[in-house]
Amino acid sequence: MHSTALLILTVVALLVPDLSAQQLRKPTVRPNILWLVADDMNWDSPGCFGGVAEGVTPHIDRLAEEGIQFWHGYANVAICTPSRSVMLTGLYPQNNGAEGFQRIRPGTPTLPSLLNAAGFLCGTIGKPLNQQELFRWSATYTWQGKGDENLWGRDPAVYRRFARDFFATAKSARQPFFLMASSHDPHDPFSIPGSKGRSPDNPHYERAESSQNYEPSQVRVSAGLPDIPEIRKHLARYAGSVRRTDDMVGAVLQELDRAGLTENTIVLFLSDHGMAFPGVKANCYPDSTRSPWIIRWPGVVSAGQDDRNHMLSCVDLQATFLEAVKLPPAARTDGRSFLPILQGGQQEDRDHVFTQFFHIHGKDAYPMRGILSRDWAYLFNPW
């Protein structure tokens, strides 16, 4: 009897140190994720990629200096809803259901739903996809004042206020977060400089002023466009809208820093695709889908990198960010993680991307397919 009791005590004593170690083990510390998404911004519009005007994007340029900028980042579809659906599902449109302005198929795993399941607080500010419940956001910030969302979605002060609230909520809850802040800029119609943000098509439709407006003589006209007064006038308004996008980026990043969350947050800036007129949105050409990509990740991504080699596309984003926060990939994905590139390595087979177009608003289809390399574009139009 005595020996049996002694044996039990010995076993208990041997178990206690292991059990205590398990109880004291710190939970996995996962980085936060912040996406800053522009609407219809051409790849070469930010200053760090050439700039539509001198000094047009000081905050975006600073972000590039602190991280890595990719000169060959692409959308897979050059229209907003299907492009953003690809970003968040890691699936091409024919596989997620959003070929045009349709909703994704119910039950499709999305980045917010997968992060939610892992304990992330997931929020979205700005341009919606009109199907927020399918993407499984924790918090959707919508404006309750006057004017529709296309108006306040261009006001950096509103993004600042919403971002401040979201960061405070995440910090108080001690949860890692994923925030997607999507500006309506620089999608047209633009504001007229000096008109209190009024649209040129509707003088009663006011928007927030840009911190700087531009004259036609101040803009850079891209190669391939005629350098004529009408084009310069349009690009000057566009440049003011690009600047207002930068104002939004600066406001959100300042709130991130104010909350003390910068050092543990992966920041991605990109556009959903290229610009409309005089660009070639809603096509598969390189300028239709090429996008300015910047990623900052303190302690992982070395500052000041300039990647002109690897070709990346939005279908890769879900896989990359899941791996970055140490979560398994989705059960089904069309993308491929480029985390090794962010960690300073190289990846093979990063010399092409696939682009697609189906239709708009479910009207007559004019499908296109493209395979883009750094130097060539192979396009197929069956119509």
Rg value, the chain, Cα: 23
Do the domain assignments include residue 22? no
pLDDT at 383: 79
Largest Cα span, the chain: 102
**C-alpha distance from residue 312 to each of 51, 284, 309 (Å):** 21, 15, 10
Chain segment 204-220, per-residue pLDDT in tens: 445 688 999 999 999 99
Chain segment 37-59, per-residue pLDDT in tens: 999 999 999 999 999 999 999 99
Do the domain assignments include residue 71? yes
**C-alpha distance from residue 308 to each of 10, 70, 181, 311, 373 (Å):** 63, 6, 26, 8, 12
Do the domain assignments include residue 6? no
Q: Inform me whether the pLDDT recorded for 197 exceeds 70.
A: no
Do the domain assignments include residue 303? yes
Q: How many domains does the chain have?
A: 1
How much is the pTM? 0.89
> How many percent of the chain have pLDDT more than 70?
83
Of 224 and 72, the structure prediction assigns the larger pLDDT to 72
Do the domain assignments include residue 15? no
Which residues are within 8 A (CB) of 214 and not within 5 positions of it... i.e. 6 or more apart? 53, 56, 193, 236, 239, 240, 243
Type of residue found at 285: Y
As a dihedral over the C-alpha atoms of residue 176, residue 126, residue 148, residue 168, rounded to 10 degrees, the angle is: 30
With 0-12 / 13-18 / 19 or more C-beta atoms within 10 angstroms meaning exposed / middle / buried, residue 173 is: exposed
Q: Nearest 5°: phi and psi at 53?
A: -155, 160
Q: Quote the tokens at residue 325.
A: 């926060």
Find the mean pLDDT for residues 121-150.
69
Task: Give the pLDDT band of residue 129 (cuts 50, 70, 90).
Answer: low
- Count of residues in the chain: 383
Question: Please, what is the end-to-end C-alpha distance for the chain in angstroms?
Answer: 90
Residue 277: CATH number of its domain = 3.40.720.10
Do the domain assignments include residue 18? no
Cα 323 to Cα 317: distance, rounded to the nearest angstrom:
10
Q: Is there a contact between 105 and 92 (Cβ–Cβ < 8 Å)? A: no
Strand ordering across the sheet containing 368-372: 353-357, 368-372, 377-380
Chain segment 306-355, per-residue pLDDT in tens: 999 999 999 999 999 999 999 999 999 999 999 999 999 999 999 999 99
Type of residue found at 28: T
Helices (H), the chain: 2-24, 58-65, 80-89, 93-96, 111-117, 132-135, 149-152, 156-173, 229-258, 286-289, 317-324, 339-342
Do the domain assignments include residue 19? no
Do the domain assignments include residue 265? yes
- 304: domain range? 28-380
